[in-house]
A and B are shown apart, each in its own frame.
Chain A
Amino acid sequence: MSDKLLKVKDLKIGATVYPPGEKPHDIEIVHGVSFEVEKGKVLGLIGESGAGKSTIGLSAMAYGRGGVKITGGEVWVNGRDILKSNLGDIRALRGGEVTYVSQSAAASFNPAKQIMDQVTEASILQGKFSKKEAEARAVELFRKLGLPDPENIGNRYPHQVSGGQLQRCMTALALCPEPDLVVFDEPTTALDVTTQIDVLMAIKEAIRDTGVAALYITHDLAVVAQVSDDILVLKMGDMVEYGSVDQIINNPQEEYTQALVSVRSINHEEKEPTSEPVLRVQNVTARYKGTNFDVLKNINVELHPGQTLAVVGESGSGKSTLARVITGLLPPSQGRIHFAGRDLSADLAGRSSEDLRELQMIYQMADTAMNPRQTVGTIIGRPLELYFGLKGEEKRKRIIELLDEIEMGVEFIDRYPAELSGGQKQRVCIARALAAKPKLIICDEVTSALDPLVADGILKLLLELQKIEDVAFLFITHDLATVKAIADSIAVMFQGEVVRYGGKTDVLSPPFDDYTDLLLSSVPEMKLGWLEEVIANRKMESAGN
């Protein structure tokens, strides 16, 4: 019927939902989506969580996760409607014509089997190659994807290679059977920025060299701009805008797309250090029990009242460990924590109730940081009872005040966490922290699990609250855009050390140390050709050295 490789027409997808207190019922989560992919082209599917991107991507393999069912429309692959195919034909399609790269390679590789067996499994099963041919091809792909020791890396088990390497192995797994189409589902989202850039380049080159077509699913428009030919913007299962990458990035028509392109509207001026710091971390060195390795090495940072210190670094840099030391969860082996004019006990057990009240925390996963069986009112009211002994009407009045501060109305007071959106949950956690009237709040990746637009709202709220309550934030994040948005001072951490520390403007201005330079230049920019530019620059630099 069609010369297109993939043609999706009026696709409708439903799912069974199990809302609390109601009967399970079916709802539609994708409402008639149409698009096409030509041979060798890359289509980016972009949207926030709940947009239906992964669901749509998996429909190209006639697959529905959990209770998800394709309820209508047509999906044509290589000229046949796979929604009308029988299970045997669909099996032959999966892993042969169409393959899949998931967000978390660490979870998607079987921990009990060697990488090579898993990479070649589909090719052999689908009869595309013999075992020997498939293995030779896998080694070739490992080499192409820039993996170290391509001849032997396949003999390792998944836990024996790094996250970035495993994500490349996953790409090799998808490319091994010479598919016509690969579905990339957020393949770099779980990686550190400095790792992401290499994987992104590897994927891009592999797509170019093999001439395979791809669906590239992500929530990060800057990333998709680097690899796609066309972009389809989705919102809540509806198509918002569909066009070439150039048009979407440089000339977005729809309001929603414009908001996505121009997200990060915050412009926060750095504040001067004023009086005595509220927090002073002095010469802190720490290690975990039973290890002989310092995860924090001689850390010295300060934070002034009503200001924000952003601690930025990649996974394993020790930034969350620093939070554990400050909160007393991990007593340091050396150094001390000076807080609000006094030395804090190294151990949590040695801290007074006043110490605990003045130092609050907000976590990355608002979901798991709240008791699902307590109402919003109970959750926010708890610190009011604990620290101030408020009861009854007085407590309720204060809860309503706090709800007002986080821009949520009194109607939320009796709701349960499950009835809130991700952003609302995080707001409730903020209100709970504020209820204690703290001097310092440690924010541990509080926006990392949120969609960009929602995260933006949370950051604005935090800045607003800082003005009102004069509270200091220790903001732990891996996201440099967030840092730029809200920090007054910045500490860049790398392998347990602070490699760069100072006011925001100083830290973000050249000359840079090597690591900060690498970190800053790795943040994807919403600009066509950015990826090639960075890679070319790095090659030049390394050739110069």
Chain B
Amino acid sequence: MPLSRRTLLAAAALPAFGARAAEPIVAGVSGPLTGPNAQYGAQWKRGFDLALEGINGAGGVKGRPIEYDFQDSQSDPRQSVAVAQKLVSDPRIVIELGDFASPASMAASPIYQRAKLVQFGFTNSHPDFTKGGDHMWSNSTSQAEEQPNLAKYAAKLGFKRPALLHLNTDWGRTAKDAFMAAAPGLGMQVVAVEGYLAAEQDFRPTLVRARDSKPDGLVLLSYYADGALISRQTRDTGLKLPILAGTSNYSPKFIELGGQGVEGDWVMSTFFPGDPRPEVVDFVARYRKKYDQEPDSFSAGAYDTMVLFAMLCDKYGATREGMQAGLLDIKDVPSVIYGKVAFDPATRRVQGATYKLLQVRDQKFVVWDGTAPAAG
């Protein structure tokens, strides 16, 4: 069900009325609610709302409810810079979250930097994002850290000559380079690299090309929607290669869209519903209850970010200066994706995500039992 702004604000405001009409603390969000990336904006909202339900339900931060002001940018740089000016000149806003894609996020960075408003890009894995200024922070998993983990799992699965398919965007390119750097040290030789265009749906020729290099496995650096398409078409064309996909494929949609075509695929994930950590158990249970679906890595990232924001407000004061000082200092923030979050003050990023390997079995993600695929 689409959540309207009104129900959202009402939901956020209710506990406040119950206690006392305290001034809310507001995070500005710049992201896509319409346009081609709107699905990711919708996932963000689910993550944010779930986190706020918990935070505001428990009385907010020092009696003040937390709200967010989601400004639609369509992830378009022309609109994200206007949104940035709007948010920096709004005295209620103490932190900015987003934008989604690099062109929109990084075009707005100079404005946030000048206004000394923290721009917290929780999906921005572009290595230069946090170099835009000392107020650009990100808890997005770094590809430099993630890809060696994926490569290790590829080696454990017995891949010696994998073919790599990646989304040909800044994200996919960063991921590919990091994987390629890690592969030789693990005894793997990547035999084919295919960068495909965003919004592509037909991968059959690409797969023939990959097949002709005689790989022993496919590695997908894709988002869940294209990952599912590739895996399906791999099976449709009769290729029996084992498939390993990166964390952004961890989504119930991967299975929904892939169907039998993703059965048996391996997907690396930073979290997993069966994870015994209390943060994960709580997050997954409440997410299922509220939305009647499984969470994915995008909603988990948004959830983590809102939890972090509440903690920053609580410990360092709900001011712009408080956010910047807090990010430099904060430690041990509970997180679904990372064990505990702390930022490296030099890179303004988070290290130490935990990576698990899952497998699609009977149309469900289960933890990989350790058996390598039969040599194909």
> Do A and B bind?
no
A residues whose Cβ falls under 8 Å from a Cβ of B: none
